[in-house]
Every structure is written in C-alpha cells, then in structure tokens.
Amino acid sequence: MKLLLTHIQELLQVRELAPIFLKGEAMSELPTIKDAWVLVNHGVIEDYGSMDAMPKVKGFKPIDCSGKIVMPAWCDSHSHLVYAGNREGEFVDRLKGLSYQEIASKGGGILNSAKKLQETSEDDLYHQSEARLKEVMKMGTGAIEIKSGYGLTTEAEMKMLRVAKRLAEHYPITIKTNFLGAHAVPKEFKENKDGYMDLLCNEMLPQIAEEKLADFVDIFCEEGYFTVEDTDRLLSEATKYGLRPKIHVNQFNSIGGVEVGVKHNALSVDHLEVMNDADYEVLQDSQTMPTALPGCSFFLGIPYTPGREMIDKGLPLALATDYNPGSAPSGNMNFVVSAACVKMKLTPEEAINAATINSAYAMGLEKTHGTITKGKVANLIITKPIPSYGYLPYSFGSNLIDQVVLNGQILE
Ligand code: NIG
Ligand code: FE
C-alpha cells in the first residue's frame, strides 16, 4: 500500500542523515517539521517535507493528520514477551511483604515460569505470546527484541526461540531474538552450577547457533544467579558463534558485570538500577548502550536507573519495557517513556530519542529503524489530536495513539 500522510501537525525525529545513536547533550535535540507530509511506498519512508512544498503525487492513499503528531514507532530493545502463564500469585505475595529475591529463593520467580513453560506446548506458547505481540503493536511498538530464558533446558530454550521466530514470520513487527539460557540455575543443577554452564556452552549455544535461532546472547549477571566469571566464560564462547552480547547487569548489585560486558563489546547492558563510578567510567566511549527498564523499577518498587546522571555524564541511554511475567508484566512503551520522564527526570526529547534511535541501536536496527529518514522502514505512530509531543509523557496512562503503520501497512 502507498500512503501519503498530510497536514501532520508535527513530524518528530526527522533526520536526513540518521545517527548511529545519540549520547549526552545530543539527546536533548529532537528535530521536527511542523505542518508536514510523509510519503510511504513499498514499506519504506520514501520522502517527507513541509506542506508548503508538497509535490503532487498520484496513486497514494491520503491520510489527513491535522492536529496529530507522527513519529517513528517505538523500538523495544529488551523483552521476554514469549512466556507461559503469569505470576500474579507472586505479585500478591509481594504486596503482602515478600521480596522478589525471597520469592525466587523459594523456587518461585524465573524457575516458576520455567516450569510452566516446559509444560506448555509450542503451539500454546505461540498463541499466548501472539496475543501479547498484537497488544504491543497496537501500542506503537514497531521493533522488539525477544529473549529466551524461561526454558532452561536445551529443548525448552529452543522452543521459545522457535516461537519468537514464528511470530516474526507472521507479523509485520521486526523481531530480534536473544538466547538467555543463563537466566537462572535450574533446580537440577542447584549444587552444580558449573554443570549448567557446561550445558549452556557445550550443548545449547552450539545447537542454537547451528539452527540460527538467536541474534544475541544474554546472561543474568547478579548475586544468586551468574557470576562475573560465568559471564566472561559464556560471552567468550558466544563470540565464537558470532553472537553479540546484550546482558542483564546491576539490577540489585554492582558486581563487575558492566565491565565484563563492555570487555566483550556488548551491544547493550540492561537494568543498571545500581551504578557506581567504575561502571560509569567503563561505559564512556564504548559502543555499548546502557539501557533502562523503568517498568521493572515501577513494578518491583526498586530504584530507577540513574538515567539523568548518565546523560549528564555524556553517556547514551536507551529505554525498553523488559516485558516479562515476574518483574515487568507490561509491554507498553508509552508508559516507559512517561516513567523515564517522571521518575528519571529525562526531558520528552531525551526519552523519545532513548525509545527510538537509541533502542533501535541496542538491537542492531539503527540503519533501518528509529528515525524518519528516507529509505528506512515505514514504522510510524500517528497520534490522536494532541497539543504537542510533551503531551505523550505528560498524559501517562492515556492511549494517545490513533493509528500505527508497520512496514508501510496500517495496522487494523
Ligand atoms: O529482566 N532480571 C532478570 N530477568 C527478568 C525478570 C525475570 C523474572 O522475574 O521472570 C528481568 O527483570
Ligand atoms: Fe529482562
């Protein structure tokens, strides 16, 4: 379908030459065109400009966007969208006073989700995940990273990744997959974590690489989960298969995970609720994108990633949902952007940059997603009539999205 969006009140994130990512002060600039048009053809952004210089074009379906804002669809660079069942019971236990860590140490948490997932058929898992994917697309997400990590056996990890790949075949959203077999140590290996590390390195990684099921590799580097040494070992192995790391670090403790991630040229280090000077230092001038997950901080009631400090220190920052059943059961990037402003003190410009071009970079999609640039994939959000883009984070909890365009098609 060819689309011509006209009379757009303001077109956001317009970059003739798209940057790879933005950091520090550059994050506060959000280039826009007021009273604009965009031409979409063959699934890509063909052209755009100001209404006073709109060329006459034929054969396009015109869409009047008066009063509305058009912007690149959100890029969600960290999710666990493929999972089975839910953990509502644990949520209520937490409300009654148990901590996330206490629940995990009793065999709940990730192991609870793994048990459910192992008992769920691949088709059922697909349909449960499909419902969540449709929901996030409606909320304006145009590209998403999906992790494994609730399988914890070779077969169940591969099942998760096959489901993510199958979703990618059936839906216009762009999907990147991440192998997170090192999410928790399964019960059977409780006294033998090295045995599980051997399984990860010698069986899971080679098979997943052979079947090309993953774009990235991940590990939960945290006290009670995997050590810095485990992380170093897994990432060294993964490099042999060309899998770039995107890892979970510094959620509860700073134990050196950021450093080991940067050492292995991780594409991103995610969570970062707890940061020290050495962590900031090692990120300076690296190619690793620090990624904040404010939905997780909100839901668990843990500190927010010091995103303001990071940007003030000249670092880049990306935003993602962490959509998962235990620590962030929401895939709503609109809420994430709002929470980043309210709780992390990002400006609307910074938050929008963090949730578009920087999060595109954090999943290797910066050349094709995250900005309004000629030739990029036509993944667009068309808002309802709103006074300005600051209204997006301001009006938290309201659905301000009118239409979503993915791969040049209007989402029905
Ligand atoms: O990113 N921190 C590790 N993993 C997920 C949550 C896992 C779970 O509780 O199911 C996260 O928060
Ligand atoms: Fe996560």
Q: Could you read off the pLDDT of 86-103 as tens digits, one per residue?
A: 999 999 999 999 999 999
The reported pLDDT for the residue numbered 214 is 98
Q: What confidence tens digit (pLDDT) does each residue in 295-325 have? A: 999 999 999 999 999 999 999 999 999 999 9
Over residues 263-278, mean pLDDT: 98
How sure is the predictor about 55, in pLDDT bands with cuts at 50, 70 and 90? confident
321 C-alpha to center of ligand 1: Å? Answer: 11
Q: 217-251: b or e for each residue (b if 16 or more CB lie within 10 Å)?
A: bbbbbbeebbbbebbbbbbebbeeeebbbbbbbbb
> Quick one: which atom of ligand 1 is closest to the CA of 271?
1
Mean per-residue pLDDT, 362-377: 98
Indicate the top mutation candidate among 80, 103, 255, 305 to test ligand 1's pocket, ranked by most ligand atoms within 8 A of CB: 80
At 1, the pLDDT band (50, 70, 90 cuts) reads: confident
**DSSP bridge partners of 6:** 64
d(CA 142, CA 172): 8
Mean pLDDT of 221-234: 97
Please give the pLDDT value at position 106. 85
What domains are defined for the chain?
3-72+371-410 (2.30.40.10), 74-361 (3.20.20.140)
pTM of the model: 0.98
Q: Rounded CA gap, 369 and 158, in Å?
A: 27
Query: What b/e sequence results for 366-377 when a residue is b if at least 16 CB atoms lie within 10 Å of its CB, and e otherwise?
Result: bebbbbbbeebb
Ligand 2 centroid to 19 CA: how many Å? 26
Query: Beta-carbon neighbour count of residue 53 at 10 Å?
Result: 7
Q: Give residue 304's pLDDT.
A: 98
Q: Which residues line ligand 1 (CB under 6 A)?
A: 109-110, 113, 220, 248, 251, 296, 322, 324-327
What length is written for the chain? 412
* Confidence (pLDDT) at 56: 86
Mean pLDDT computed over 161-170: 98
Return the pLDDT at 107: 85
Cβ(82)–Cβ(164) under 8 Å? yes
Complete edge-to-edge strand list for the sheet that includes strand 141-147: 74-76, 141-147, 174-182, 216-221, 244-249, 268-271, 289-292, 318-319
DSSP assignment of 317-337, as one string? -EE----BTTTB----HHHHH
Shortest-distance Cα residue to atom 3 of ligand 1: 220
Residues forming a β-bridge with 144: 76, 175
Mean pLDDT, to the nearest integer, of 114-130? 98
Instruction: Tell whether the model's pLDDT for residue 293 goes beyond 80.
Output: yes
The answer on pLDDT for 360 being more than 90 is: yes
What pLDDT was estimated at residue 322? 98
C-alpha to C-alpha distance for 158 and 204, rounded to whole angstroms: 8
User: Please, what is the average pLDDT of the chain?
Assistant: 97
Please state, in angstroms and rounded to a whole number, the distance separating the CA atoms of residues 257 and 385: 44
